Structure 1
């Protein structure tokens, strides 16, 4: 087994270490009028969301998985007063604070927090204007006056419990992502500090993508099918241009992958990432949402003579996967059993978004009863968790988890 702190060469190897984020006060800063801005369709009840998330974390521990938390890792990365101040200044720069006096007040509030984890959690939760000292009218800038009705000095980051997206682990490397929406792009700052300064993870992983890039890519579109093959989705959240940048870096830096399968599918919110419609659950089994199959295009990408070689695959998807994984046959397990009503309903509730903790052992939401029954008929062992509140953010077990270490197959 590798001694490298990041070691992920498959989607299904026994999960040893994973990073989560326990939902926090950022969810209590969701407002009906601003849900679309913050990429939510509904407002989860925080207390129940935390109970469901704690049960998810415990289910992973019961399988022998070490659970890490992004808020704790980020706090541990602020290893000196200088790095702590660097973090505060960088966060302030990206916080979208328009008024000069407001920015001063937020900086003072952060600097007054002594505990590093409390500081990190506050930057995640955002700032209501009502939390800050009243700025005298004479000191208000034009932006302070014009935006007086908006309740936040700094928006919350309610999507953070979907730890899959701000960065992705592949091999011994990390793709530190540039996100689709400004509201989520700020989330990647925690990954930056973890992989730069953390006592265990800082400076250890090769970066194959960086948050400073100007095109978007998210972790839900990045899947590690085997030690040789990656899959990347061209989706609502990931540009084809980003995939090309990622792939050139992967091949040039020789992080261990020989081919990438690029999946192009419908660009809309219900299919926001590849892993919302397609996940690997065993050596030869995948979940898939039947609605994407008609329009799906798959490209094989390799690197030859210092250039990407791209070939469109025209065969049956199961055959393409079997050939690339070196197995006799691949089974595509259709969400909802192919019934269009059940499939649409259960995909909306992340029936296709599973987290494999070992070959054939899969974490799912208990609510997707049709799909779960079919998975069990295929011989999979399901770890069923409640997700009535968690699912309101439109994400499932894979979305909520970022593997740091898996056993090799």
Structure 2
């Protein structure tokens, strides 16, 4: 399948989802805060909702499950070793590399998502309060955060919280190692010169092929947007990035897609106290053309900025 996403409202050909599983069941009130939860997710309710969700998606598109894609990646020994090594080095557990390499693709895919239980090989681990060598990925059903399609490329998220870094490694491996998708990845995780970069897919909306909307807030930093600017400069294309500042608190504003969603060619759903309140939460338009930043200007609002670029939207 060729990746080419140039709109939030275009016709879908394929969707990657992760159906919540035992990693959600492993959530407790004690570890909820570390896992970025404000409440415990009811797995039985979520499972029923996902069945309905996928039934709808399957009527219009091919639905790919993360776990199935991951099993395919892990079936290749070189890809398996590369991914395991990256994960274990990132999470500082190199001693379990050999154990993970011994697992079958099915078992390993399950453990990388649901968590690897603590292996009590010494007294320190025996007495540890930790239950896992690798923590369960409680947030993985938010698949857009770890990777998002921008035109014919896939941006691998540099997630703001360490507990989610494995999600990005898994999605990078899927897009780089799987032969199902024709694309190349953009990976800010490889830019060691800018440690403050964080950028998550929930903050990125593709308004048009040449218009990218990005939220600045709790999960995406200005340095993350600078990474996108540098990429678009290299393409030599004419592109406009509109950066929308978001409230830092509460958590209902952590991503742009929580306050602004495109519904149709001429309609959008907004939270007006943020989107139409330029005095507190400004919108900034960055125009890029022929490898250079042509202008950076504050706008009256995100909607006004889109209007200037030929996208007139009725806010709802």
Q: Which residue of 2 aligns with 1:119?
A: 108
Counterpart of 1:128 (choices 117, 120, 124) is 117
- What is the alpha-carbon distance in structure 2 between the residues aligned to residue 259 and residue 80 of structure 1? 40
Aligned structure 1 segments of 4 or more residues deviating by more than 6 angstroms: none
Q: CA deviation at 1:205?
A: 2.1
- What is the alpha-carbon distance in structure 1 between the residues aligned to residue 301 and residue 2 of structure 2? 37
Q: Which residue of 2 aligns with 1:87?
A: 83
**1:50-89 map, 5 Å:** 50-62=47-59, 64-89=60-85
Which structure has more relative contact order (CA 8 Å, sep 6+)? It is: 1
Structure 2 gaps of 5+ residues are none
| CA spacing shift, 1:35–1:119, aligned 2, 3 Å | same
**1:145-160 map, 5 Å:** 148-160=128-140
Contact 2:246/2:254, CA 8 A, preserved across alignment: no
Structure 1 gaps of 5+ residues are 334-409
Q: Which residue of 2 aligns with 1:300?
A: 285
Q: Which residue of 1 aligns with 2:190?
A: 212
Contact 1:79/1:198, CA 8 A, preserved across alignment: no
**1:4-403 map, 5 Å:** 5-62=2-59, 64-97=60-93, 103-104=95-96, 107-108=98-99, 110-114=100-104, 116-129=105-118, 132=119, 134-137=120-123, 140=124, 144=125, 148-201=128-181, 204-213=182-191, 214=195, 215-254=197-236, 258-268=239-249, 269-292=251-274, 293-294=276-277, 295-304=280-289, 306-324=291-309, 326-327=310-311, 329-333=312-316
Contact 2:245/2:282, CA 8 A, preserved across alignment: yes
Calculate the TM-score normalised by the size of structure 1.
Answer: 0.70
Q: Secondary structure at the match of 1:33?
A: coil
Q: CA deviation at 1:164?
A: 0.7
Contact 2:23/2:138, CA 8 A, preserved across alignment: yes
Contact 1:76/1:199, CA 8 A, preserved across alignment: no
Could you report, residue by residue, the CA deviation over 1:330-385 in whole angstroms, capped at 9, with x for unpaired residues?
2111xxxxxxxxxxxxxxxxxxxxxxxxxxxxxxxxxxxxxxxxxxxxxxxxxxxx
Calculate the TM-score normalised by the size of structure 2.
Answer: 0.89
| CA spacing shift, 1:302–1:84, aligned 2, 3 Å | same
